[in-house]
Amino acid sequence: MEIKKVGVVGCGFMGSGITQVCAQSGYQVVVSEISDELLNKGLTTIDYYLTRSVLKGKISQQDKDSALARIKGTTNTKDFSDCDLVIEVVPENIDLKKEVFVKVDKICPERTILASNTSCISIFELAKVTNRPGKVLGMHFLSPVPPSKLLEIVRSAATSDETLESGKKFGESLGKAVIVAKDVPPFIFNRLLMALEGTAIQMLEEGIATKEDIDKSMTLGLYHPIGPIALLDFNGIDVAYKVCQAMYEQTKDPQYAPSPLIKKMVETGRLGRKTGKGFYDYK
């Protein structure tokens, strides 16, 4: 199936990034939020990053204007009624995601593919609440979306071959390298990342090494662009906490339980770069 128009449910940091790359890749995009305030904030974020790209000479002013012209913001989910693909980008809460899938399933025509940006929730569980389980798959974009070169597609037991191929072609059209994971949360990327970050936090809690040395071991030893502790700050301590919570609630596996240190940091508002202080001080 040819995808021409894309819907994005959620215009936060991830949703705005997905909207931006879709618009820059030539797609008409409808992006929604629950309020005009949040919608305008997300659209302003897109404008800001496109402007930065113009100033850095990565794109022209005409490229920016054309991308913005392809984006329509809305607070009405009925505006997804003519989309070929709708990507859900709401917080990692399975009940909230199911609500979105039920609504969009009723609004969209049979041809529409429904995707979730989840990194830790079963795609089949989301597909079951729709009347089109064969047209549901996972599209896990990495943060930040525009510069990231990877897209992780998740195929559930119900996802059809046609839907999978359409998803792969769409991801490649965005300039992403596509990897395909089975529907076993937390899939490929997060399974590896959570192991690395979890071990780094454990080492920090046990006093085995400083955060600086833990990060240097990865940036200088394995040439990672950023260490696991600094990456937690970059993505948000609260985000890591929610992902761990969601994974633990689904699996009851102790390895995914949020660490006491992460929990304490969230409770005290030390969420990383967004608050000016996390494991590192950014003030």
Q: Which residues are catalytic?
A: 119, 140, 152, 190
CA atoms within 13 A on the CB side of 250: 20
CA atoms within 13 A on the CB side of 81: 4
Contact present, 173 and 25 (Cβ < 8 Å):
yes
Contact present, 179 and 188 (Cβ < 8 Å):
yes
Long-range CB contact pairs, 267-275, < 8 A, 24+: 270/237, 271/236, 271/237, 271/238, 272/232, 272/233, 272/234, 272/235, 272/236, 272/237, 273/233, 273/234, 273/236, 274/236
Q: Would you say how long the chain is, in residues?
A: 283
Query: Could you tell me if residue 215 is left (phi over 0), alpha (psi between -120 and 50 degrees) or otherwise beta?
Result: alpha
Contact present, 121 and 248 (Cβ < 8 Å):
no
Q: How far apart are CA 117 and CA 20, in angstroms?
A: 15
Q: Where are the alpha helices (DSSP H) in 174-256?
A: 189-205, 211-219, 228-235, 237-251
Would you state the structure tokens that stand for residue 141, as one six-digit string? 């974009």
* E-strand stretches of 58-135: 71-74, 85-88, 113-116
Among 27, 33, 29, 35, smallest CA distance to 9 is for: 33
